[in-house]
Structure formats: C-alpha cells, structure tokens
Structure 1
C-alpha cells in the first residue's frame, strides 16, 4: 500500500495554547503536510508555524478577525464549510470548526472538546450566559450552529478524544464513542533557556507558576487570591481578555507576563517551586510540562487533569477552584517530599513519540479498512 497523502487542519491559528502545540506535533509527524485553517496570525501564535505551508479561508483577508478571532464566530461555520482539502487523510485538530472542513479523502478528527460555546456556554463565558450580551448572541446562534456542528461530527470517518472527560462529552454531544489518545507535552526540557526580562531577580527566592490563557474559566484570579497573604511569589505566564483586570487585581507578590517564547517558558518551569493548574481543562498540558522539569503541580480535581496527574506522585489535587482550596493544596505541596525523577518518569509517558505511534496506528487502520 502506498504512503497516504496527509493534510492537517485546525480551527484557527491565532494564539498560543495546548491545542496549537498539538498541531505543531502533527506538523513534525507529517513535515510535508499542508495545514488548513480559517484564520492565521503569525504575530500571535507560535513562530514555528512560519515554516509550515498554511492555507486559510476567505475570512483571513479581514485583518480585524485575524487579531480578534472570537468576533468571527457567526461566520466560522460558513468559512469552515468552504475549506476544501485534497488529501487521502485529513487529520483535523478541532474544538468546534476544523471537523467541518471538507476533504476528498478520509477525515480523522482529533477533538480537544466539542464546541464550548454550544455545549458549555457558562464555562466558556465564565458566568451565566443569560447575563451578558455575548451570551444572548450565542443563544440566538445556537440552533443553527448546533445543526451544523452535528452534521460536521457525523461526517468524520474516525473521532479521537484527547482525554477521558472529552470522550464523555463527545458521547453526550454526538452519541458515539471516541477512542482516547492523550496529547504530547509541548515544551521539551532539553532546549535553551532564557531568563524573563526584569523577572530574574524578583523571583530569586522562589515562586509558584501559572501558565494559562487569561480567560474567565481559567480561574487565574483564584490563584492570585490564594497567594495574596503568602510569602512566596506567583509568576503568571499568559495573555487574554482578562489581562488588564488581573493586572489590577494582582498584589505585590504577583507578576503577569505575556509574549513568552519557549526558551523563556523553559526557564520559568525550571526555576519554579511548583505549578498551579486551577482551570477545568479538556486535557491540560501544564502538569506534564511541569513534570518534564521535575516540578509538582497543584491541580483542580476535574477534567483532563484526572488523566495527567497522579496524586502524591506528580502533584496534589484541590476540589474547588477557590482561593482557599488552592492555598491548602500549596501547603500540601510544601509539606511533601517530592521525587523529581519520579515526576519526570511519569511525564515521559506522554511524550511525542507515544502520540505519533498512536496516530500512525489509527491511520493504518483507516487505510486498511478503505482497502
């Protein structure tokens, strides 16, 4: 059997996050593949995408949407339906749009989550959806988008979930079972390190670390409150619509930095005492990225962290994303004698080689089934 022609797809490539790191892993697995997406902004995503051949939808001609992709939501179903991919297998990394791209061959969907704005609007907005203008707009769009979304899901030949909780959501949203294939951690400990400007001296006596988009459902505000009365500092690496609000909320022992490259992120992980992971994540790469540096994590006992954190071995859990619960978890972190080598060994089981091998096996099955 000849080698299949592979193409890759992703919803939009306009930010830096775990899903985008998975796409980069796919580009390393399939270096000759073309990457299809609705919107692409080279300035706000990982620089490695500059080395990839990227095909965008017509929406990408609108500069405002490249920098404000959420404003494109009413148009993304239309744009996604007009992306056409010529390939034997399209590997679609999707959180709601790329699974609707059309292809001449088979479609393998790697699902980070069924669309939050359809099935988990309160979580997506960080508040009661009926109490905001955006929430009312989403509610008005939901019937049409839901029909489009279910048709898109049904058009896939195989569906993979990135975690156990996402497999459950896929079952609830679409009615079918999805195999779980864990994503790889995205930050290698072997690369170069670069101190964060104006931070190195400030954190010299140790710090906790949060790496997160600054979105309502990420609960970064609760991590800030958890350290307000503590001696240790908190370094937050991330960007998002809550940046100004969180900057205003932050006490003197908290710093928020954005536009951080991988060299600086490695430095931040390497020198942290521990990592705080306070959000309900679909999978959540942060505990594993901390783990490859031998750092324990205090994580919310929910979502994908149930797959990636082993209590007492690689971290501790807190039951609610509240400042008091996070503070108690940090006390547990400080009281425990952590084995860095054991943490590293656990994280190594989620490496990119494992991810590639799983996808290879699935694609081989698809091609054999097709004959």
Structure 2
C-alpha cells in the first residue's frame, strides 16, 4: 500500500471531542462500524457525557483530558484547544477526521480524509456559538486570538487530502471559507423503529394524546425559545430533549405545557419519537438529522426553511417549512401540518435512504482511494 509503513495502523479516526450526545458523535460510532479496529483520537472524552458505546472503543486523548471540568464543559477549554489539537499525534495510513473545527488540526501522519460538519462555528460564527458566553473568557480569548486562530484553521484545512461535506449548505461554506471543493456525503441516522422502546415516566400522561417534539442542544442559535413562545398560547404540549447553556433561561420562560428531558437512553428516545405527533426543527442546521429520526417512526416535521433541512425534508411529503423563526410563523406551520394527511410509509421510505449502509460504503471507498494513491 503506497504510503504505508510496517506496524502502522491502516485507519485511525479523529474527532474534536467526545463530551456530549449529538449527531456528530453518532457519526463517529458509525465510523467505528466501518473500521472496528481503528483507534479514536480526540481532545476530550467524558464517558458519562457521551454515548455509552464509546466505552468499547480504544480512545486516545490530549493532556487536557486530565482536567475534569474541561471534560464536562468543553467550551471552557476553547482557548486551549488549538495548541492541544496541534500536539495530538495520529499515526495511520489514512485518518478519517470527523470535525467541525479542531480535529482537522491534529498532528496527523499519513493521508487525511476530513468529514466536515461545518467550518469552525467558534471562529466564523462566534456570537451564535457562544451566545451569552461571548462576553466570558472563551469569547474574549477568541476575540484576542482571532487572527492567529484563523491562520491555524486555514493551515489545517489545506493539509487535508480530501474534504467531504455533510450537506449542501456546508459544501458552500467550505468553498467560501477554505476555497476547497468538497463532495456531499449525507450523514446516516441510527434510529430503528423496531428497536426496544422504554417508556419515559415523565411523559406517561401525555403519551396517548401525543405532543410536539423538539430535539436539540440548548444553544442560542437553535431558536428553542421561539418554539417555547409559539406554544405558550396555543395549548400544545411540547417536549424538549437536550441540554446546554440556555436550559435555565428556557425553563424560566416555559409554562406547564413544556417539559425538558435529557440524558435519555436510545430506547427511551425511540419511545419519545414514537409518541410524538410532530417534530419541530426551528434552527438553521448544518445537517437535518432529527427529521430523519422522526420520519423513521412516521412522524412528520415542521422546520425552518434553510440549511441542512433542505437536504433531508421533502416539502408536503415528509414535512412543512416555515420561512422565519418567529413564533407566529412556527404556529402557522404547525397548524398546516396538523391539517395535512401524512403517509407513514412514505416517511419511513424517505428515512431509509439515509441509513448507515450507504454511508459506510462511501467512506470505505474514499479511504481505499486515498490508500491506493
């Protein structure tokens, strides 16, 4: 194999940090299905904060991982992550880099294939990423170090042998930020409607009638507050699944018709999706994962028109769009969706096109191509 060295692993996986449960972490688990012998290299790893399946993987971390508070609050590590990333050595014939801003800057020996969720939000969309925290230590550090951080990030991007984008909007962003042309490879969802479903006691009294569902990290740009306000006067029941720095503020503005949940098992999440009437997706996302998860259970979505949702929702077939994130527009879209007739079979067929099989096959092909060059 060109570029290979005796004793060096064929494939390694690099990821920004494993401290939470989200779509990017699901992708890493799928990469481990594709390359079960691969070691995962990451800056921070919090076994309690991310998916339990990672306990079965071999994980190498940066020295920052010795600092417990940083594992639990990775945004506090932001000023330290660039130098930590630069020193995290990965030695393999091909490294599959799962990144939204840090892992593509690891000290990678061998070829590198970058699967990009977005050019760094912390650098190019700082206010959205940090929210109120932009006035805190992390925000001040990014402001003071912006010029060298941009230079570091651009160098890291240019070091890649191949870039893949999770969606068309990210493809455009990679082109405008780095001048790199990237093919679009949609991420897989991992929901299985036939899998075990464990009831969630906190929702037992809502299960029969159903509810609106929102699955999201609780960050400022996610527009969860707009959905909370939208249902305040309608009598709708809203379940919010996720955690993040905006949780306290969101709880404070919510009435009894809104319930917040986090730390759920996969079986509990399946139960929650199965009993929802509609998924509400109110933010501009790099990739529209949650509508695919909902569609697996025959649940349609109302979503903000834009971003990755344009890749994963078929209007009037698997969901409805609203054109701005104001409460009135959200309410109108929910009303249209409730009045429409939806085909469970059509929803599930659409979701089946975004499963792990096609993704794994494509990534393996990309790795094989790099290995042979």
TM-score range, shorter chain: over 0.9
Indicate whether 1:150 and 2:154 are aligned: yes
Normalising to structure 2: TM-score of the pair?
Answer: 0.95
The 5 Å alignment of 1:1-371 reads: 5-126=10-131, 134-368=138-372, 370=373
Q: Count the aligned residue pairs.
A: 368
Using the alignment, how far apart are the partners of 2:107 and 2:358 within structure 1?
28
Using the alignment, how far apart are the partners of 1:38 and 1:132 within structure 2?
22
Which structure 2 segments of 5+ residues have no match?
A: none
Using the alignment, how far apart are the partners of 2:13 and 2:191 within structure 1?
21
Measure how far apart 1:189 and its partner are: 1.9
Using the alignment, how far apart are the partners of 2:70 and 2:136 within structure 1?
21
Contact 1:85–1:101, Cα closer than 8 Å, also in 2:
yes
More deviation, 358-367/37-46:
358-367
Structure 1 pair 134/75, CA: closer, same or farther in 2 (3 Å)? Answer: closer
Query: What is the DSSP-based 3-state SS (H/G/I as helix, E as strand, rest coil) of the residue aligned with 1:15?
Result: coil
Query: What is the DSSP-based 3-state SS (H/G/I as helix, E as strand, rest coil) of the residue aligned with 1:104?
Result: strand
Which structure 1 segments of 5+ residues have no match?
A: none
Using the alignment, how far apart are the partners of 1:134 and 1:79 within structure 2?
15
Measure how far apart 1:232 and its partner are: 2.5
Measure how far apart 1:126 and its partner are: 4.1
Using the alignment, how far apart are the partners of 2:32 and 2:120 within structure 1?
24
| 1:268-292 Cα deviation digits (max 9, x unpaired) | 0001001000111111310100111
Using the alignment, how far apart are the partners of 1:286 and 1:353 within structure 2?
18
Contact 2:78–2:138, Cα closer than 8 Å, also in 1:
no
Contact 2:79–2:141, Cα closer than 8 Å, also in 1:
no
After superposition, the CA RMSD in angstroms is 1.7
